[in-house]
Amino acid sequence: MKRRKFFKNTVKGAIGASMIPLLGTSCTNEKKLEEKNNGSEISSQSNNTTPEQWHQMGTGKKPRPNRKKTVVCDVAVIGGGAAGMCAAISAARNGAKVVLIQDRPVLGGNSSSEIRVHLNGVNHLKNGLPERETGIIEEILLHNRFYNPQDSYPVWDHVLFDFITREPNIDLKLNTSAIRAIMNGDKIEAAYCWQMTTEMEFTVKADVYIDCSGDGLLGATAGALYRTGREASSEFNEKYAPKEADGWQMGSTVLLGSKNMGKPMSFEPPHFAIKYDAEKSHKGRNLIPFELGYWWVELGSEDDIIGEYEDIKQTLMGHAYGVWDYIKNSGKFPETENYALDWVSSLPGKRESRRFIGDYILSEPDMLGNKQFPDAVAFGGWSLDEHNPGGIANLSEPPSYFHEDFSEPYQIPFRSLYSKNVPNLLFAGRNISQTHIALSSSRIMATCALEGQAVGTAASLCVQKNILPRELGQKYINELQEQLLRDDAFIPYRPSKDDKDLVKQASLIFASSTSSGDANYLNDGWSRDYNKKIHHWESEGLPAEVQIEWEEKVSISKIEIKSDTNVKRNIMLRRDSLNNDVYGTSIPKELLKSLEVEARINGNWVQLGTESKNRKRLIKFDFNTVQTTAIRIRLKETYGHNNVKLFEIRSYES
Amino acid sequence: MVITMSNYLRLGPMKVRPYIFLLFFLFTWFLTSCYEKKPPTPLLQKKVNTAIVTDNKIEIPHKINVLHKGISLTEPVACTLIEVKNDKKQPIAYYMNVKSVVCGDKRCRVDLIKIFWDILGGYSHVELPDGVDLEKDEGENFTNDDYTKLNIILSDADSPLQNVYKHEIVSTIGSEGIDALTGATILVDKSSYVEGAVWTCYSIWHWIHGDTKQILRNITGDSFSELQLKDYLKSNKKEQQLFALEQLTIRKDFSKETMTLVSEIIQKKPYLVKPSIPYLNNTTNSFFRKTMQTLIINSNTKNRLLCFNEILKTKQPLSTSFFESLDLNYSSLTFEEVHLLLKIFIAKKLTTNSIKNKLIELLKSKHFLTARRVYWFLKNQKLTKEQEKILHQFYKANQERM
């Protein structure tokens, strides 16, 4: 990347708005230290308080700290949920300087310890099998398997914190809300932010903004077009949409958890509990299992679901306690006698509010018809799971309409991930350009994560090329897709054709043993077996070797390997710690643990890299450039499987 | 007392046929039922293809302990396997009484069923008690189509069910959370089970294709004479040949006559080369060497690679004469074969001057990768001046590609 704004420490251009502070700071770690020092200096800026109002007893000074900072970066990501994290990571790893703004104390969005929704994805298609997401979300889930085998939600928060803060190009700002866009023409010039815990006003200036906040306040204040509510079925030919358009949005949920105390535990409901009328409730509201709460304790709105949030939350808490009261005190569930509540969420998890309008609106027929988009960058496959209008306030209807499962994953186009009218605004997550019915499937977090990786990568390319997202989609979509595939994202029916990958030019690929697949599949561009076609090579026992020969010398400095983690099993954190090979707390036994890579130089094998505790599906080796005619991957150990399975080997000059 | 069992219900690739069972058979069944100690009700024959039980059979109970994935991954279940012998005291079938369902969701009705195997452990059929049909969700009985599908599933030894744990079969996801809103979500391919009866399919499949299979193969093997095993080996039936190889290895029959027969058969049947490796590895050294030499010369590339890999791993001693006396045309070998061959030469220290001369010829190979591979091998060998000269010429001509 040519520009390194982070080190310039200057404010970019003049901004008309009067609240733009004068002090420029940067996103780098070094500069963060500077920020602290600068922040303690006495400021004589005008303000509503007098400069000497605060008498600092410790120093004797009477300062008023400067609470305003400008942060200049390449990409600003708003929202630290699955989509936002993946957007920030992908942008950062592809060279952009990133500020990640999260309005809560923890990362993870709906999956965080504050809410505890499962980070679901394509958990099960019509055939009953999952088709798990790879890429950054896969790396995050694996990271959790290593550091949080106990499935603790508070630890999950910090697994995510660890994952994000170890990236050198990301400046994470927690407890910070992006509350207003500052515009320059139709483009966002800056995001005005407020950090609750430090009373700091941040003005975040970036070339590209990615709104992954769910509610999309930044985009909304930028004037980005958006919709709420349900489309009429005629608009997009959606068979599951209502005949007439209306305002209904799927509800937010309050989850709870209980604990077996080993002795009888009585329960007296608080005054705000709302009596649960089980007799009138649709039988779809299962009360068993009872230990970990009910996703159907939810309330939607047909109007301003964001504006009503605090009211909804209080009512929802009443419903949550009301259901628990019924479970404990109705006499119909003696198995709950020893159970007591030990956690009730105070932050309902949201399913729906704004949906921005992009150059394309993804709809139900696209999904059910598995429309093949030339600009596909992500996929989904959760069922069309439309929660009922009204939620628990509408007891007679089922809590959700599981309209239809998918036979195979559907594609999500890049044109649904940037704003139609704010040219430097991208988005990922539940606020993307789609209909209400499409949202009922794509809202699932791992799907949002794939969108996040796509827009993060897109943003970095925009910065590199000094262009805007629409132009990127029109002129460089192949480059975007190839980068995503290289970074272990999967796009159905879009195999990689990366002509920079030197393994594609290899004369011969062979393996020391083969129990299934073929070593020649390792450069076929597919990173998983798909639609009953094999794209892997699997050894017969371990150790094993794969060797790649070129007839002519090649210069290489990178080797990248995609190993197996079994995408037909789910590994996300679950509240019930379901522990088997589909939903488990263990590290996938297929994952490659120990390996080394070598190059043949002047007839001798020279080690280029070694890894004894690999924890990723995509394993990368960077080394000084060597000229060689062959590389050899020596595969030593997995996390339990007798054979090793690989999907791809790539090599690059730089 | 003899009971005529003309009303059996049977699932299996067999024809309908009446059966007569001795009283002690019922008594044995009663005694040996894995779980339920109650006398069986008469059975109704429904679908059968072939006859396996004759009038004058003898039944031998075998107490066995087997793991059933649906019950426990660590604690074996004590069962009684019944070996059915004919009047010549030869095994003709096996059966075992088991519960129809290892119930995963506590909603299933459990019936006692009878599983039949052939003498090699192949699935034969299942019999149900009189008047009993297998049950699906909501108390519905199996239809004829369901029985047909069940039979196909149970006949598939490579069913996806084999790698599934019982917890994996039914998830409890409704919407985003923990629930069972829409009924069980089955996490295996629909072709692997009868809809509404996944537990039944899973339970029976694992009884059929679990530990019992190898146990009864060994019982059959023990009862076979050397002659019978040899007949199997010569039979032209793959399943019988594999069984013979397995059992000859277990009983360590390395007589000259048997070894010779094995050698002859595997040369005729390429698919037997891989399964014969455990046998060959335990034969005498001279036989091992001779057979390997023959296989290397006569096999296809796949089996030759198999042999090279085995030679690389084997503890059988090999001398330099092994390859020197081998009339192997190196120029006909693929890159991978040459690559492995060179690995053997290094690992087993088998390189001789005559081998080097043969390898030198490969420098002229039209397959440059092979020539280059040989070059790097020879580069580390002690060579004659003439050999050195050729090697140098090769390098000079190709140094940009080295």
Interface mutation vs chain B, best among A116, A554, A573, A582, most B CBs within 10 Å: A582
% of chain B at pLDDT higher than 70: 78
Identity (one letter) of the amino acid at B365? S
Supply B343's token pair. Answer: 């690995």
Supply A539's token pair. Answer: 């050894």
SS (H, E, C) B371-391: HHHHHHHHHCCCCCHHHHHHH
pLDDT of the residue at A613: 97
pLDDT of the residue at B202: 87
pLDDT of the residue at A574: 87
Q: How confident is the model at residue B4 (pLDDT cuts 50, 70, 90)?
A: very low
Establish if A233 belongs to a structural domain: no
- Contact between A400 and B174 using a beta-carbon 8 Å cutoff: yes
Largest Cα separation within chain B, whole Å, is: 93
pLDDT of the residue at B175: 59
pLDDT of the residue at A579: 60
Establish if A146 belongs to a structural domain: no
Q: Are A226 and A433 in contact (CB under 8 A)?
A: no
- Contact between B187 and A582 using a beta-carbon 8 Å cutoff: yes
| Interface predicted TM-score of the whole assembly (ipTM), two decimals | 0.79
Q: Are A275 and A322 in contact (CB under 8 A)?
A: yes
Question: What confidence tens digit (pLDDT) does each residue in B89-138 have?
Answer: 899 999 999 987 765 555 567 778 999 999 999 999 999 888 888 888 77
Query: What is the H or E stretch that residue A595 is in?
Result: strand A592-601
Identity (one letter) of the amino acid at A389? P
Contact list in B for residue A603 (CB cut-off 8 A) is 375-376, 379-380, 402
pLDDT of the residue at A53: 80
Which residues 91-120 in chain A show a CB within 8 A of chain B? Answer: 117-118, 120
What's the mean pLDDT when you consider all of chain A? 91
Report the candidate in A501, A498, A500, A454 with the shortest Cα–Cα distance to residue A480: A454
CATH number at residue A541: 2.60.120.260
pLDDT of the residue at B102: 61
Residue B131's Cβ-count burial label (10 Å; 0-12, 13-18, 19+) is exposed
Which residues 251-270 in chain A show a CB within 8 A of chain B? Answer: 253, 255
pLDDT of the residue at B37: 35
The beta-carbon neighbor of B187 closest among A118, A129, A294 is A129
Residue A508 has pLDDT above 50, yes or no: yes
C-alpha span between A381 and A383 (Å, rounded): 6
Contact list in B for residue A117 (CB cut-off 8 A) is 176-177
pLDDT of the residue at B33: 40
Taking residues B359-386, report their average pLDDT. 95
Residue B233 has pLDDT above 90, yes or no: yes
pLDDT of the residue at B22: 38
Q: Where are the beta strands (DSSP E) in A417-541?
A: 425-427, 508-511, 516-517, 537-538
Phi-psi region of A151 (alpha: psi -120 to 50; beta: other; left: phi over 0): left
- Contact status of B380 with chain A (Cβ, < 8 Å): yes
Establish if A230 belongs to a structural domain: no
Establish if A585 belongs to a structural domain: yes
Residue B164 CA, distance from chain mean position: 18
Q: Which of A223-232, A448-457, B167-176 has the lowest mean pLDDT?
A: B167-176
pLDDT of the residue at B188: 66
- Contact between A551 and B368 using a beta-carbon 8 Å cutoff: yes
Which residues 186-205 in chain B show a CB within 8 A of chain A? Answer: 186-190
pLDDT of the residue at B132: 84
Range among A20-24, A31-35, B88-92, B99-103 with highest mean pLDDT value: B88-92
Q: Which residues of A476-505 are buried (b: 16+ CB within 10 A; e: fewer)?
A: bbebbbbbbbbbbbbbbebebebeebbbee
Establish if A607 belongs to a structural domain: yes
Q: What is the DSSP string of A199-222?
A: TEEEEEE-SEEEE-SSS-HHHHHT
Task: Using the 3D structure, point to which of A344, A374, A389 is the last residue of a domain.
Answer: A344
| Residue A442, helix vs strand vs coil | helix
The beta-carbon neighbor of A582 closest among B168, B174, B182 is B168
Contact list in B for residue A629 (CB cut-off 8 A) is 372, 401-402
Taking residues A111-120, report their average pLDDT. 96
Taking residues A334-341, report their average pLDDT. 96
Query: What is the H or E stretch that residue A610 is in?
Result: strand A604-611
- Contact between B165 and A581 using a beta-carbon 8 Å cutoff: yes
pLDDT of the residue at B285: 95
Question: What confidence tens digit (pLDDT) does each residue in A369-384 have?
Answer: 999 999 999 999 999 9
Q: Can you tell me which residue has the tokens 């996801």?
A: B173
Q: Which residue has the higher pLDDT, A164 or B196?
A: A164
Question: What confidence tens digit (pLDDT) does each residue in B100-109 have?
Answer: 776 555 556 7
User: Residue A538 sits in which domain range?
Assistant: 502-652
- Contact status of A165 with chain B (Cβ, < 8 Å): no
Establish if A384 belongs to a structural domain: no
Report strand pairing: A544-563 vs A75-78. unpaired
**Residue A616: partners with Cβ closer than 8 Å, 6 or more residues away:** A139, A142
Task: Using the 3D structure, point to which of A344, A377, A408 is the last residue of a domain.
Answer: A344
% of chain B at pLDDT higher than 90: 61
| Count of domains for chain A | 2
C-alpha span between B341 and B309 (Å, rounded): 9
Q: Domains of chain B, with CATH numbers?
A: 2-213 (no CATH), 224-401 (1.25.10)
pTM of the model: 0.83
- Contact status of B397 with chain A (Cβ, < 8 Å): no
Question: What confidence tens digit (pLDDT) does each residue in B38-56 have?
Answer: 333 333 233 333 334 556 7
Task: Using the 3D structure, point to which of A319, A344, A369 is the last residue of a domain.
Answer: A344
Torsion, Cα of B84, B88, B90, B93 (10° steps): -30
Establish if A216 belongs to a structural domain: no
Establish if A628 belongs to a structural domain: yes
- Contact between A118 and B177 using a beta-carbon 8 Å cutoff: yes
Identity (one letter) of the amino acid at A552? E
Residue B239 has pLDDT above 80, yes or no: yes
B214-218 long-range contacts, CB within 8 A, separation 24+: B214/B121, B215/B62, B215/B64, B215/B66, B215/B81, B216/B81, B216/B83, B216/B94, B216/B117, B216/B119, B216/B121, B217/B120, B217/B121, B217/B243, B217/B246, B217/B247, B218/B247, B218/B250
- A115: nearest CA in chain B? B177
Which residues 437-476 in chain A show a CB within 8 A of chain B? Answer: 444
C-alpha span between B160 and B143 (Å, rounded): 23
C-alpha span between B208 and B70 (Å, rounded): 13
| Residue A517, helix vs strand vs coil | strand
Report the candidate in A591, A651, A593, A647 with the shortest Cα–Cα distance to residue A620: A651
- Tell me how close the Cα of B271 comes to any Cα of chain A, in angstroms: 15
Phi and psi (nearest 5°) for B153?
A: -65, -45
- Contact between B401 and A510 using a beta-carbon 8 Å cutoff: no
C-alpha span between A381 and A125 (Å, rounded): 7
Query: What is the H or E stretch that residue A458 is in?
Result: helix A445-465
Other beta carbons less than 10 A from residue A217's beta carbon: 22
